[in-house]
A and B are shown apart, each in its own frame.
Chain A
């Protein structure tokens, strides 16, 4: 049997979940033996194979039209989609801005920040993606597996990856289930 292909990507998150992934340390070699690790944001190959992968992992919520593209691309190219970390499961920290209007958040970020000079203005370039309300990926594409945690614990990540690498769907319960 061919090794399952695993790819990951990130959207509106802090990269902390991928850092927690690296915290599985030398065990990543075991994962690499069991699975074919393809595109990730921290490897040279950035986009998942057009020919498709078995497991797609997404960190972060969907924050703008660019994130939407990333989410749709991963969904289209993977068989099993994993929401990785609290932002991808619930929306997480970025989703806190949903308590304000988009206009208010942009003004705060680009105009009212203490470090911004009088020239501060909201970027309007038509080439830029459009910000949206922050959504959990499940509100944009169907998600098959949820791995909550802020970030997920390396032990949990290792368990999830080794199960997926061996073609099984991990079950998170008891000690492995953390939302924080």
Chain B
């Protein structure tokens, strides 16, 4: 511990702390602009200047290490004058006219800093040099005129996300944030994760939806989770007057540490599918709005006269409560032979079977990935499926973490990899790796052997194979080299669906009715093709699709932002989603629809979804 004095207060801090951190720990306020709690200190804006006894000039407290017996002053007249001067220079350098900026009035850290200093004007006239505005990106706009060169966006892009798209060009007053080597953002290597927009302290990076639609203090914020994939990232959903304004990552959640991907942050903003707002029955070949009562009666009627039985298919985006209700209705009560999920167990079935066989979970949790010094990706396209997970190693690649990709097809993460092996992962490959590797495989084996925290992430390249042999060989190999093994699985509730036994291949065998609990999932072409053979289709869905167009009965349900429920992440964390928006009238939640259906069919269903998650040994510990 180090002991120092700040404004007469004696403070003890850990060695390695900065003066700013020490002051904050003692609740002493030092104004900052370029500092951000999640980013590496940069010392760019100089607003956090402090005076230290024995130092000739004021020092930036964000980068100044605290040392023993230091005597620090944070609010002397000299510093107040210096802060005003610094803010004056920032304001006069570019177009920082507040009245026509969307963040003015509470959301701008620059304006707030000036208010805190009691500045009613800035004494130096602006330069009036115009800077470029880059509006080429589909989701956000970069206005260099509002930029204060704090580099938060650049640091977020490289230190947090590891994508290194944003950087700076030129020097002094001409310095500008650019993408790649000066490409328009829209055609750059940007992956649209939006971390830069989330950390920008001014109106330099604004998203296209929340801009000019009210300040943060005028909107409602709901803390919930993203269900874009099975990572379960924490999000803060900003709404106003029942409209979605913006989605931010929650800095406090471990799953994503504040980061999001395009799917989580921006996809919900561009949702433009047609909403279904009333139950409908096909009459005279035309879907006709009816009451819920009529629609449920029609389903009961169809179920009673189903000579070939009922096939049932649920989306893995449904909450666990709804999936369990679905499983009980169709598998336990109606004894349908084909009850499964839209994923058909392609990401989970082999692993679940293996876990049951060896009666012990064998997959690691996300923490392992954060500590990894070597990551091996096998048959998994993280960019498309679970992008935020890739940030945890991408950002460490320049610090020594090694990345190896084994994939028969080109992987978007290849450009970040130290070693790419173009091969199909089968049991032979893992045996070779373990016993007598040559060429690239020998290099891979050597890198893995040298790592102290190797992590292997496997995906559909292994899990979707017809046989479980490759997975068994992989598990053996991972055990051999003491690597943590991870399968990020599929959609938000992949693991729950697997634990409820919803993981059979969907193959119709003469079933006369198919019940599809699609929720808000966008049906894949594969699913649409599979269901072409289904004679009678009953769907509960939030949006119109090629499938609802040919259904016999359509039941309108909530989309993910409108419903609450439990989601089990890929590594077994049980999380609760909250509703951030009200559903349209006459639209019910997925669970409510299944409960109403059970009532209508005189079936009693339980609400023991949590207990049933552990009825068989899962591939990863569920807690």
Contact = CB atoms under 8 A, between A and B. Distances in A.
Q: Do A and B come from one complex?
A: yes
Interface of A: 83, 86, 89-93, 95-96, 98-99, 133, 135-136, 138-139, 146-148, 150, 172-173, 177-180
B95 A99 contact: yes
B130 A83 contact: no
A93 B100 CA distance: 8
B121 A89 contact: yes
Interface of B: 95, 97-101, 104-105, 111, 114-115, 118-123, 125-126, 128-130
Contacts of B129: 99
Nearest to B101: A180
Given A89-B121, A99-B128, A148-B121, A179 B100 contact: no
A86 B100 CA distance: 11
Contacts of A146: 120-121
Contacts of B120: 89, 146-148, 172, 177
B455 to A, nearest CB: 49
B118 A98 contact: no
| Top 8 A-B residue pairs of the complex, sorted by shortest distance between their CB atoms | A150-B99, A98-B128, A146-B120, A146-B121, A179-B98, A180-B104, A173-B118, A99-B130
Nearest to B114: A179
Given A92-B97, A93-B99, A173-B118, A180 B123 contact: no
Contacts of B119: 177
29 contacts: A86-B97, A86-B98, A86-B99, A89-B120, A90-B121, A90-B122, A91-B97, A91-B125, A91-B126, A92-B97, A93-B97, A93-B99, A99-B95, A99-B129, A133-B128, A138-B121, A138-B123, A146-B120, A147-B120, A148-B120, A150-B98, A173-B118, A177-B119, A178-B105, A179-B104, A179-B111, A180-B99, A180-B101, A180-B104
A180 B98 contact: yes
Nearest to B145: A99
Nearest to A147: B120
Given A95-B128, A147-B120, A177-B119, 9 more contacts: A93-B100, A99-B129, A99-B130, A172-B118, A177-B118, A178-B105, A179-B111, A179-B114, A180-B98
Contacts of B98: 86, 150, 179-180
Nearest to B99: A150
Interface centre among A90, A92, A146, A150 (most CB of B within 10 A): A90
A95 B123 contact: no
Contacts of A135: 125
Nearest to B106: A180
A117 B104 CA distance: 38
A149 B105 CA distance: 11
A178 B121 CA distance: 10
Contacts of B99: 86, 92-93, 150, 179-180
Contacts of B115: 177
Given A89-B120, A99-B95, A148-B120, A180 B125 contact: no
A90 B98 CA distance: 10
Nearest to A176: B120
Contacts of B114: 179
B104 A83 contact: no
A95 B100 CA distance: 12
A95 B97 contact: yes
B109 to A, nearest CB: 14
Contacts of A96: 95, 97
A131 to B, nearest CB: 15
A151 to B, nearest CB: 9
A83 B121 CA distance: 10
B95 to A, nearest CB: 7
A177 to B, nearest CB: 5
B145 to A, nearest CB: 8
A62 B98 CA distance: 19
Contacts of A95: 97, 126, 128
Interface centre among A89, A148, A150, A179 (most CB of B within 10 A): A179
Nearest to B123: A138
B105 A180 contact: yes
Nearest to A136: B125
B114 to A, nearest CB: 8
A177 B111 CA distance: 11
Contacts of A177: 115, 118-120
B174 to A, nearest CB: 16
B128 A90 contact: no
Contacts of A90: 97, 121-122, 126
A139 B125 contact: yes
Interface centre among B95, B98, B100, B121 (most CB of A within 10 A): B121
A144 to B, nearest CB: 11
A137 to B, nearest CB: 10
A133 B129 CA distance: 13
A138 B124 CA distance: 9
Contacts of B100: 93
A21 to B, nearest CB: 17
Contacts of B111: 179
A93 B97 CA distance: 8
A172 B98 CA distance: 17
A147 to B, nearest CB: 7
B329 to A, nearest CB: 56
B99 to A, nearest CB: 4
A180 B126 CA distance: 17
Contacts of A133: 128
A57 B111 CA distance: 25
A180 B114 CA distance: 13
A90 B120 CA distance: 10
A138 B122 CA distance: 10
A33 to B, nearest CB: 27
A81 B25 CA distance: 45
A139 B123 CA distance: 9
Interface centre among B114, B128, B129 (most CB of A within 10 A): B128
A164 to B, nearest CB: 15
Contacts of A172: 118, 120
Interface centre among A133, A136, A177 (most CB of B within 10 A): A177
A179 B118 CA distance: 11
Contacts of A178: 105
Contacts of B122: 90
Contacts of A139: 125
A96 B115 CA distance: 23
Nearest to A178: B105
A96 B128 CA distance: 8
Nearest to B100: A93
A177 B106 CA distance: 12
Nearest to B130: A99
Contacts of A138: 121, 123
